[in-house]
Structure 1
Amino acid sequence: MTKTEIAKAFSDGEFEKTYKFISDNAEWTVIEENRFIGKQAIIKNCEQVGSYFKSVTTNFKTLNIISDGNKVVINGTAEFLRNNKRVSFVFACDVYEFNNNNQIQNITSYCIQTK
């Protein structure tokens, strides 16, 4: 997978596809919410988020992808539905930084939730 494909899969909640591309000492910061340090902490959070995604209908839309060297930025929206009713709607931007081994080293996520 390319860096862009890895980043897009992660942003689209296809976490399992990305696990082998996360460095052991990676960090994921969700601004104003949480910080996960180390691959195992990131995977644990991905599994929790993935469980939530399975409990709702998800509609992810990618608006922009910007790639430059070891950085990929993806912004888009996510709509979550249950019983055909909107549970939440999120405007998101994820900034990925890759190391020289093409592994994710840092993720910074900006998520603005609306109803």
Structure 2
Amino acid sequence: MEHFRFEGSRIEEIVVYFGFDFRVDPFADVKVKRLSKAFATGEVDYIAGNIAKDVQWHFVGEAELQGREAVTNMLEPMRGVVAEEYRTKNIITAGNKAVVEGTMIMPEENGQEKLYSFCDIYTFDHTDSNIIKELSAYLIELPSKEEANKQ
């Protein structure tokens, strides 16, 4: 799709949109919320079904994964693990990008809980708006309420 801006009879600007554009998708927030819910509820199959075969997954400060198989293997221990609490502070969508910011409390194997703050930056495929092409994840472990009260 093209957009032309004229100055008199002269074309001043041409903007060309390729592929999918979240700015005109009224369901963009719904799609991103559904992906976030899948992470919060350990729905590994849903996540794996919505990532590109050649996905790039960046855990900022930790690991970088390439490809659906590597990401699915990394997610497997999350299968069925449900966050005790999951709060989304912001969802921002523009073009083929989406940013989700929030906090979550996750159960640990020892029965304890850990509090995290997160910010995920999604880049969706231009040809299929439901497919994640790249994800950068910022995850920060926060002190528990008990630890914070001791300080």
Q: TM-score, normalised by structure 1?
A: 0.80
Question: Identity of paired residues, percent?
Answer: 24
Distance 1:87 1:5, change over 3 A: closer
Distance 1:99 1:34, change over 3 A: same
Give yes or no for the alignment of 1:38 onto 2:67.
yes
Aligned mates of 1:16, 1:108 — CA distance in 2: 20
Partner of residue 61 from structure 1, selected from 84, 87, 92: 87
Runs of 4+ in 1 over 3 A off after TM superposition: none
Specify every segment of 5 or more residues in structure 1 that has no aligned partner in the other structure, as ranges: none
Partner of residue 53 from structure 2, selected from 17, 24, 29: 24
Of structures 1 and 2, the one scoring higher in RCO (CA 8 A, sep 6+) is: 1
User: CA offset at residue 45 of structure 1?
Assistant: 0.9
How many residue pairs get aligned? The number is 111
Distance 1:8 1:19, change over 3 A: same
Partner of residue 48 from structure 1, selected from 64, 68, 77: 77
Specify every segment of 5 or more residues in structure 2 that has no aligned partner in the other structure, as ranges: 1-26, 144-151
Q: TM-score, normalised by structure 2?
A: 0.63
Q: Give the root-mean-square deviation of aligned CA atoms.
A: 2.5
- In terms of fraction of residues, the more strand-rich structure is 1
- How big is each residue's C-alpha offset from its partner over 1:44-79, in whole Å with a ceiling of 9 and x where there is no partner? 11112336x26xx52111111101110111010011
